[in-house]
Structure 1
């Protein structure tokens, strides 16, 4: 009985270790792909029109700043509606994307 339990424990450990390694590789590849897409979008928009790229970056910054303000301020009674909910969701997605890139793309040797 002791040998079977030990073998099962070793098998479970190996399955967990391999699963974590595969998940790490998949997340790193997704982060590199996301970073590459962001760089490609920036390059294509800059090559099309630098003025529109800067104007779009300014508008996106204002949009995300409004979302940050809506997310981090003291909530009012009731729910967020309309533009406030949209900007808060966009800010949350931008923060999540930045966190994924910070954690997984920093070790990416694709650049």
Structure 2
């Protein structure tokens, strides 16, 4: 009885360990692909029109700044939340993407 339980415990440990290693490799690969796509977007955009690229980066910076302001300020009582919700969602998505890249890109070996 004790041997079966030990073998089963070792098998569960091995499955968990291999599963975590495979999941880590997949997430690192996805992070590397995402970073490559972002770099390609910047390269193609800059090749097409540097002025438009700088203008788009400035607009994105304003949207992100408004999203940060909407996310971390105290809620107003009687305001329309349409644009505020949109910019807060854009900021949250950008922050989640940055955190994902910060955690998984160093392990992919593409840098």
User: Could you say whether these structures have the same fold, taking a TM-score greater than 0.5 normalized by the shorter chain as the test?
Assistant: yes
Structure 2 residues without counterparts, runs of 5 or longer: none
Q: Give me the CA root mean square deviation.
A: 1.5
The residue that corresponds to 2:97 in the other structure is 97
Q: Distance in 1 between matches of 2:108 and 2:15?
A: 25
What pairs up with 1:15-34 in 2 under 5 angstroms?
A: 15-34=15-34
TM-score between both structures, scaled by the size of structure 2: 0.94
Structure 1 residues 96 and 67, CA, compared in 2 at 3 Å: closer, same or farther?
A: same
Question: What is the aligned residue count?
Answer: 111
Deviations 1:20-73 (A, max 9, x none): 001100000000000000000000000000000000000000000000111111
Q: Distance in 2 between matches of 1:42 and 1:26?
A: 24
TM-score between both structures, scaled by the size of structure 1: 0.94
Q: Distance in 2 between matches of 1:6 and 1:110?
A: 40
Structure 1 residues without counterparts, runs of 5 or longer: none
